[in-house]
Amino acid sequence: MPALMIQGCGSNVGKSMLVAGLCRAARRRGFSVAPFKPQNMSNNAAVTADGGEIGRAQALQALASGLEPVVDMNPVLLKPESETGSQVIVQGKRLTTARARDYAALKPQLMGAVLESFGRLRARHDLVIVEGAGSPAEVNLRAGDIANMGFARAAGVPVILTGDIDRGGVIAQIVGTQAVIDPEDAAMVAGFLINKFRGDPRLFDDGYAFIEERTGWKGFGVVPWFGQAHLLPAEDAQDILARPVGEGVVIACLTLSRIANFDDLDPLKAEPGVKLVMVRAGDPIPAEARLVILPGSKSTRGDLAFLRAQGWDVDLAAHVRRGGHVLGICGGYQMLGASVADPEGIEGPAGVTAGLGLLEVETVMTPDKRLERVRAVEAGSGLPVEGYEIHIGRTSGADCARPFAFVEGRAEGAMSADGRIVGSYLHGLFASDDFRAGYLARLGIAAAPRRHAAEVEAALEALADHVEAHLDVPGLLRVAGLDQGAG
């Protein structure tokens, strides 16, 4: 069955965006297309229709394909919990936590799950577009590889290699990759493309021809920088630091060391009346902030220590004394309480860490993880909220008597007596347009009459137009095995 794999010369070269654009382009040509990433490493996750979790980028690619996300689209997800260890999610469920050096021993048994998921997608769709991870040039990781050439050869999928010209040295990226990889791996490469070009692409004609001549690989196009990329969820936390943040009332979000599910911020960032400030390590929380957000975290106790090391606990206390508002989401909610206990050492060494004491609640980490899409109503306003829960830990205490929302009658979250400190486990809440407008209004911010989902959909259409205009899409579909790729 037809399939094509987009691999990169490095991380963050734009593979996720290209796959989303190609999925939408194939769908517009009448094909049933599905995205697939054998192995992803990201703390930005999505809850799937079948009750698991996958990388957020694959959920976006599913949307581009007109599909509900399912766990087969990303069968192995690594969620970093520390500098040396990650939670290993296999087909949507937590398998274990492994140190980097121990993960290599796991990879051979994970290939079976990867090929099983890929086989199911292939059986259900006309085309599967696969995204690699990192770079095949990382030859030190080639043994047991399931993310790049190891998968491509096991599944028999042709590869298109992507270079990022924005970071410089793109000729060396592509020619150098061919030089260091195994000849049998190189034989899987059907061609290359150049991504993130700024300026006149004709200025790269000689470089493009040089790559074709030196490698013998066919070029499939030069893709200019996509200006609407900021309207789509980011895969890498570093991306949100580089994006424009707008003008207006300041909402500050703490950039935690293990920040998770940070696409919660996207609908706020797009509000014309909001200036979203991502507070970096070493920077103070802006005194003029009307709202401070503590986002999700993959390591709540670890990020509490990180938060204190930046002095943000002192800044938060001053912010509250000035009458400011605070919103904690998921791990951020847990941090707002009196304590976070991890008696079984699920997220790190067993123990108890003092919280920020801004809410009268306590959290105990438990092995079971809640993975659920939810429909809720905000307590008090009754405004509808759609989102998802993806967390371990159970939170209880006096302030839970003032819930943030009700999920099918179940009280969810907590609120201080004056209503200025709020905690919730609900991710994605600001994508609910009426709730977002109401919440901002209570902060004295006039929300624009926006429909966030429609804006994302429009950006995906623009991305497909962009890909069609600058890549040989019919040629790529022929490489994948679709002879009618010209439509």
Would the CA dihedral through 350, 352, 356, 361 be positive or negative? positive
Question: Catalytic residue numbers?
Answer: 330, 427
Tokens in use for 230? 């900021």
Count CA atoms within 13 Å of residue 354 on its CB side.
4
As a whole number of angstroms, the distance between CA 343 and CA 130 comes to 40
> 163 forms bridges with which residues in the sheet?
194
Tell the burial category of 199 from Cβ atoms under 10 Å away from its Cβ (0-12, 13-18, 19+).
Answer: exposed
Contacts of 101 (CB under 8 A, 6+ apart): none
Contact 22, 143 (CB under 8 A): no
As a whole number of angstroms, the distance between CA 25 and CA 466 comes to 10
Tokens in use for 91? 């087909």
Pairing mode, strands 259-260 and 296-297: antiparallel
As a whole number of angstroms, the distance between CA 174 and CA 179 comes to 9
Contacts of 468 (CB under 8 A, 6+ apart): 25
As a whole number of angstroms, the distance between CA 487 and CA 485 comes to 5
Helix extents (H) in 69-148: 100-124
φ, ψ (nearest 5 deg) of residue 318? -65, -40
